[in-house]
Amino acid sequence: MNIDSKTKIYGLIGHPVGHSLSPLIHNTAFLDQKLNCIYDCFDVLPENIKDAVFGIKALGIMGVNVTVPYKEMVIPYLDFISDEAKLIGAVNTIKNNDGRLEGYNTDASGFIESLLEQGVEIRGKNVVILGAGGAARAIAVAFSLNDVNSITIANRTEGKAYNLYKYIKEKFRTECKYTSLDELIDFDNIDILINATSVGMFPNVNATPVDEKIIRKAKFIYDLIYNPKETLFLRYAKKYGIKNSNGLNMLINQANNSFKIWFGKNFNKNLIVNVLRKKEFIK
């Protein structure tokens, strides 16, 4: 990588950002497409988030991804928000368009693409989302936009499950329910079960958001977590022979969709998969 006075800067703002795979993904794509660009991580403290966003404009940074906990907080400081990002209420991609900061969300589209790539039917399906945080919201909106039959939101804090349920009911015609995690034991007919909680993520790798009795009822199991590659949630899916996916496909697709917003073209997904495989993030 040749860095000179013309090198354009891209990056990730969040807190913390130390374990992100985004620099590896985007710098690989830049090298591959011979783009004189570099992608770095910016660990921003909450009290500095407004200055950080204005700094994108002031310093001529060309684009950033936004991660936890700032996907909602950046919105008031942007000049334009896409309809999808407005519906989700979160921005994960900012493009500096000649000094106009544009906010987009590529989590939802990245998630749906990852399901379609794995041959999972979405339309008419009954889905259960574990969690009611930012990722759960993006996924609930994505499913509602893609004509699922029903969405059930199950969360540790039931009040948050209720809020997300209410939001989906207000915005979409999708059938929606909410419940506690334990009450899922009474649910049948789960086509797609998604872990959108942080339970099972490194270093707490022996935790699962729901009991295996619930997991074994599902026809497809998706864990948004990609570190570890195989969570306990996915190990149970394997035990019962249920088709499953970790969060890497979504990560790669959302990164590609950000890249498309910045450069108007795709990156080479196979190359990215191979690089991640070499680094042992993928089996």
**C-beta closer to ligand NAP: residue 2 or 29:** 29
Q: Could you tell me the smallest distance in angstroms from the CB atom of residue 232 to ligand NAP?
A: 13
Q: Could you tell me the smallest distance in angstroms from the CB atom of residue 132 to ligand NAP?
A: 5
Please tell me the distance from the alpha carbon of residue 12 to that of residue 63, in angstroms, as a whole number: 9
Q: Could you tell me the smallest distance in angstroms from the CB atom of residue 256 to ligand NAP?
A: 11
**C-beta closer to ligand NAP: residue 70 or 77:** 70
Q: Which of 142, 144, 55, 52 is nearest to 105 (CA)?
A: 142
| Maximum pairwise Cα distance, the chain | 62
Three-state secondary structure of 10-60:
EEEEECCCCCCCHHHHHHHHHHHCCCCEEEEEEECCHHHHHHHHHHHHHHC
Please tell me the distance from the alpha carbon of residue 256 to that of residue 178, in angstroms, as a whole number: 32
Catalytic residues: 71
Please tell me the distance from the alpha carbon of residue 26 to that of residue 255, in angstroms, as a whole number: 8
Q: Could you tell me the smallest distance in angstroms from the CB atom of residue 5 to ligand NAP?
A: 34
Residue closest to ligand NAP (Cβ): 133
Please tell me the distance from the alpha carbon of residue 254 to that of residue 271, in angstroms, as a whole number: 15
**C-beta closer to ligand NAP: residue 157 or 266:** 157
**C-beta closer to ligand NAP: residue 160 or 260:** 160
Please tell me the distance from the alpha carbon of residue 180 to that of residue 185, in angstroms, as a whole number: 10
List b or e across 108-131, with b for residues whose CB sees 16 or more CB atoms inside 10 angstroms. bbbbbbbbeeeebebeebbbbbbb
**C-beta closer to ligand NAP: residue 80 or 202:** 202
Q: Could you tell me the smallest distance in angstroms from the CB atom of residue 60 to ligand NAP?
A: 28
Q: Where are the alpha helices (H) located in the chain, listed in sequence order?
A: 22-32, 49-59, 83-88, 107-117, 134-145, 158-171, 212-215, 232-239, 248-263, 269-278
Q: Which residues bind ligand NAP (CB under 6 A)?
A: 68, 107, 131-136, 155-157, 160, 196-199, 201, 209, 224-226, 247, 250-251, 254
